[in-house]
Amino acid sequence: MISPQTLGRLSNIHQLLIQLVQDLPATEVDQRFHPELPSMGWLLGRSVYLELYWLQEKLLQDNALSSLVQHLFAVDAPDHEKTGSQLPPKDHLLNWALEIQEKSLMLLANPRSLPAHPWLQNGWLGDYLLQTHARIYERMISVLSARALQQVSDDYLSQSPLQAQQPTLNTMEVSQGHYRIGAREGAVFDNEQPIQMAELNNFRICLNPVSNAEYLFFLQRQETDHIPWHWRRDKQEHWYAIGLNGPMELQPDDPVSGLSQRQAMAYADWVAANVTGFKGAILQHEYQWEAATRTQGLKNFGRVWEWCGNSFQPYADYELPVDAEMVTREFDGLHFSQRGGCLHTQPSLRRISYRQSGKIEDNFQFTGARLVLPPEHQEDDLYIEQWQRFLQQ
């Protein structure tokens, strides 16, 4: 049975998805604002298709509607650029979405209208749909951010220019031991399971992600271009940011956002080589992040996704889900892990075991960085070399 609370949250996320598309001019619904991001219309269509597919095709054995749009929105559909021109007009898309969403809620609210199925036990499918839509919602915000970056003029003048600050060492130590990694049973994604124990050497982890002021300190000393995705310079050479609502000031203590994994790695390498106390610093491994958060109370996260140094891989003894639409597709050797969530991450995804990923040059996922270091009094070069090699496995 789907709980009333879950039904209410599903209704809310439906409204959010609809509103984001409704607010766009009709000519921009099927427009791509970034080569790595689909259109807003495609993302809304994808969310609707998944409800059709899981509820009506899989549970009710009726693919009359899902088959009509499978070529557009299924996981193995052609590239978004090829299907964008095939999307229905904005009004038709919204009407279709509203109709399917309403029908889905009615089916989930009336258990007798659906056959007995493992997906319905303990409300699993309702929670899974909620989280799937939350993922799509966050990707929509990335698209709108890319749109905002294309529409800003160059006449903004910063009133509170960002000042650089040398990175400061503020860490806690995590002891050597075995730590729980992953999620228990429930409505979680395949890449979070199975739950396991990971053996970690002791390490130090920075209590805070890299700040805007600290990143500017690094940026001012580089000959190469490592500018965050949404940073811009005004006519007086002062840095500011582009948000969803236009230009805004960069707050010095806020976590830096808009970094690619390559930029995050460059920052870590530079700090390790040039700032006193940071010898051996490197991007965190996602196991370290989870261990520190789960057992040591690392709390200052959730404002930006934090790049990790390890590639995005399935856990030991990983099992493919029974349904192709539930399979993680990023286990390809090209993606790196991200942890922690950002300001746009919905509550349904804010759990310690949740993982997402991006390619090395992706900078549009509201991503920053957090560093880990060797334990105190163990900074000899041989130890650091062995330790860094372990983290990069």
**pLDDT tens string 230-269:** 999 999 999 999 999 999 999 999 999 999 999 999 999 9
Task: Write down the pTM of the prediction.
Answer: 0.95
Mean pLDDT of all residues in 89-104: 97
| DSSP per-residue codes, 38-94 | --HHHHHHHHHHHHIIIIIIIIS---TTHHHHHHHHSTTPPPHHHHGGGSPPHHHHH
Contact yes or no for 285/198 (Cβ under 8 A):
no
pLDDT at 103 over 90: yes
Pairing of strands 282-283, 246-248: unpaired
Alpha carbons 227 and 241: distance in angstroms, whole number: 11
CA 368 from chain center: how many Å? Answer: 11
Instruction: Please state which of the four CATH numbers 3.90.180.10, 3.20.20.100, 3.40.50.1000, 3.90.1580.10 is assigned to the domain occupying 171-391.
Output: 3.90.1580.10
Which is it for the CA torsion 86, 90, 96, 102, positive or negative?
Answer: positive
Instruction: Please state which of the four CATH numbers 1.20.1070, 1.20.120, 1.10.8, 1.10.10 is assigned to the domain occupying 4-150.
Output: 1.20.120
Alpha carbons 82 and 30: distance in angstroms, whole number: 11
Boundaries of every domain in the chain? 4-150, 171-391
Q: What pLDDT is attached to residue 382?
A: 61
Pairing of strands 171-174, 335-339: unpaired
Task: For residue 288, give the nearest of 219, 363, 390, 163 by alpha carbon.
Answer: 390
Q: E strands of the chain, at which residues?
A: 171-174, 177-181, 196-200, 203-206, 231-233, 239-243, 246-248, 282-283, 305-311, 335-339, 356-359, 367-369, 371-373
pLDDT at 353 over 80: yes
Q: What pLDDT is attached to residue 306?
A: 98
CA distances for 158 relative to 151, 233, 270, angstroms: 18, 9, 28
Instruction: Read off the pLDDT of residues 125-184 as tens digits, 9 standing for 90 and up.
Output: 999 999 999 999 999 999 999 999 998 777 899 999 999 999 999 999 999 999 999 998
